[in-house]
Structure 1
């Protein structure tokens, strides 16, 4: 019987949650056609919520988080993949209520997996991970809405986070002028190294937040935090522009009037990477491996081991992580 290491989150009698690296067996994994030996995963905010028992993410314990995984196929019962194929898994139920990438093996439905594109290594695919995939979907949303680089500057909120930092880098790679908004002004050089032409603070973005409309400043925006930051981005977007929305760490509430929508024709584009259909999923991975491939991936990344990930979970919940955290298994 094959045993392997995994981070296991357990619910205690007092309803608290503990986590530890422990030995598991393949028999502990759920049913599924595809068995994968995981080489890399990455840490996302949703993983931290799962690891602390947030019922909106994970309800079944004991549980192994990890909404991202990249590795090599061990076996596939439905012939969609062959032994030895390199694959990427992001989204669906992985790491939520299905044992995830914080273990050395996963077993999943084969339709959740994507064949790794030629232009990416397994490691690079997990530096991107769900955060980078979400960033890519956000940029793609602006592109498909007609927000081209010549239209003006693009605002990115939560710019030092996993989604925000990759969004800044992809936008810069695609030729956009990026204004990065962050609560961590000390990371200004990090953001400019990714391609931001200007860095503003949260307080600067929130100036005049009581107003229903603001001066037209941005051709579009990628918001990763929600709440009043998303509202300000909408108010400051120019006529015909678009704002993408993918996060709620600031708030799930949106207090904004209809004026930007009915007077400026601003569009609010919702971004979901979990249930993203396979055709756009494949299209985006191909772009991330080619024309949008980032040369700065190493600069974005801190690599950790399975034994270190619990400490990083605490840090991401406290807002102390910048860029991407790569887990090598």
Structure 2
């Protein structure tokens, strides 16, 4: 019988429980979960911040990687290695903070070789979102010769992978972080400069001096507004998060006077082929990128405390969850 972290709409909110097989959802594919990871959205769900969880009880965890143990869908067979990210899993549907889960076949993609399931979750939704952001910027025409690219929230999951992938692609990356003690690590990931988040949090002019040819923003709010105001002509910004604020206190000036493009990046409902293409690009990245990523591995019993730490800004890098630990 699999163990799972279960959320309830009462105290205690998060409880480690052992589930009978008949309590698992009636869905087509049963997966033995090798690894999951803790994302900011997971932390919000576990701590009760925001309106992430739609119904109780719920097993959180917006992504996982593992091995199929049973399937009634012809697309998957036993022993297939698979990855799940998005689709409302861990929000509307039971997710990856468990030793096993039954899920819809539509939610799964094959885990491409040579990527292991552990490595897949070192990237997880954060790495997938970072790769989708890089793809979006490149498809919009951004190239390394255009100038520096800023990454906000650079010490977080999406931000740190964005720094690493952009640097690998040949871009000059300027990492923006509120954690100055992580500067050396961000430099090892490939950042050419590390900038203080405080320099981007005060309301600035609608159009400021130009700095960036591109940006990946995970923060939103005033940070994103200031990045837009500082973009070079025809600059491109991939917006992927709202860790700071969902509001956007900006004007139309960067868009109509400098031709700046604000590109939305979704990692939840992207179609299968786009999702698979992003994972194939991730699998082709050199192993050296993995060696520079800061990783802490935890068990299910550690998730609640680490979720609070993430909400309070006391984590960095990747938190990998081994449900069998």
| Paired position in structure 1 for 2:116 | 121
Q: 1:106 aligns with which of 101, 116, 120?
A: 101
CA contact (8 A) 1:153 1:177 kept: yes
| Paired position in structure 1 for 2:314 | 320
Q: 1:113-142 CA distances to partner (integer Å, 9 max, x unpaired)?
A: 000101211000001000111111111111
Q: Matched residues in 2 for 1:128 and 1:72: separation? A: 17
Q: Matched residues in 2 for 1:9 and 1:328: separation? A: 18
**256-265 or 306-315, which moves further after superposition?**
306-315
- Kindly indicate whether residue 266 of structure 2 is the aligned counterpart of residue 268 of structure 1: no
| Paired position in structure 2 for 1:196 | 191
TM-score by length of 2: 0.96
- Kindly indicate whether residue 225 of structure 2 is the aligned counterpart of residue 231 of structure 1: yes
Q: 1:86-122 CA distances to partner (integer Å, 9 max, x unpaired)?
A: 0000010211121111011111110110001012110
Q: Matched residues in 2 for 1:255 and 1:201: separation? A: 20
CA contact (8 A) 1:156 1:223 kept: yes
Local SS of the residue matching 1:244: strand
CA contact (8 A) 1:158 1:164 kept: yes
| Paired position in structure 2 for 1:240 | 234
CA contact (8 A) 1:26 1:105 kept: no
Q: 1:286-329 CA distances to partner (integer Å, 9 max, x unpaired)?
A: 00001x34523243311111121121111111111101100012
CA contact (8 A) 2:154 2:163 kept: yes
**83-92 or 24-33, which moves further after superposition?**
24-33
CA contact (8 A) 2:5 2:16 kept: yes
Q: Matched residues in 2 for 1:288 and 1:294: separation? A: 10
Rate the CA distance shift 1:190–1:55 in 2: closer, same or farther, 3 A. Answer: closer
Q: How many residues align?
A: 322
| Paired position in structure 2 for 1:295 | 288
| Paired position in structure 1 for 2:161 | 166
Q: Matched residues in 1 for 2:198 and 2:304: separation? A: 32
CA contact (8 A) 1:302 1:324 kept: yes
Q: Matched residues in 1 for 2:287 and 2:243: separation? A: 26
Q: 2:75 aligns with which of 76, 80, 90?
A: 80
Where in structure 1 do 4 or more consecutive aligned residues deviate above 4 Å? none
CA contact (8 A) 1:17 1:53 kept: no
Q: Matched residues in 2 for 1:201 and 1:251: separation? A: 18
Q: 1:213-263 CA distances to partner (integer Å, 9 max, x unpaired)?
A: 011101100000100000011111111111011111211110111111001
Q: Matched residues in 1 for 2:50 and 2:303: separation? A: 21
| Paired position in structure 1 for 2:129 | 134
Q: Matched residues in 2 for 1:310 and 1:54: separation? A: 13
Deviation at 1:54, TM superposition (A): 4.6
**231-240 or 209-218, which moves further after superposition?**
209-218
Deviation at 1:210, TM superposition (A): 2.8
CA contact (8 A) 2:150 2:175 kept: yes
Local SS of the residue matching 2:233: strand
Local SS of the residue matching 1:11: coil
Local SS of the residue matching 1:197: strand
| Paired position in structure 2 for 1:96 | 91
Q: 1:167-193 CA distances to partner (integer Å, 9 max, x unpaired)?
A: 000001111100000011111001001
| Paired position in structure 2 for 1:210 | 204
Compute the RMSD of aligned alpha carbons.
Answer: 1.3
| Paired position in structure 2 for 1:37 | 32
Q: 1:41-79 CA distances to partner (integer Å, 9 max, x unpaired)?
A: 000011112113356321211111000110000111021
Deviation at 1:206, TM superposition (A): 4.1
| Paired position in structure 1 for 2:250 | 256
| Paired position in structure 2 for 1:28 | 23
Q: Matched residues in 2 for 1:141 and 1:39: separation? A: 30
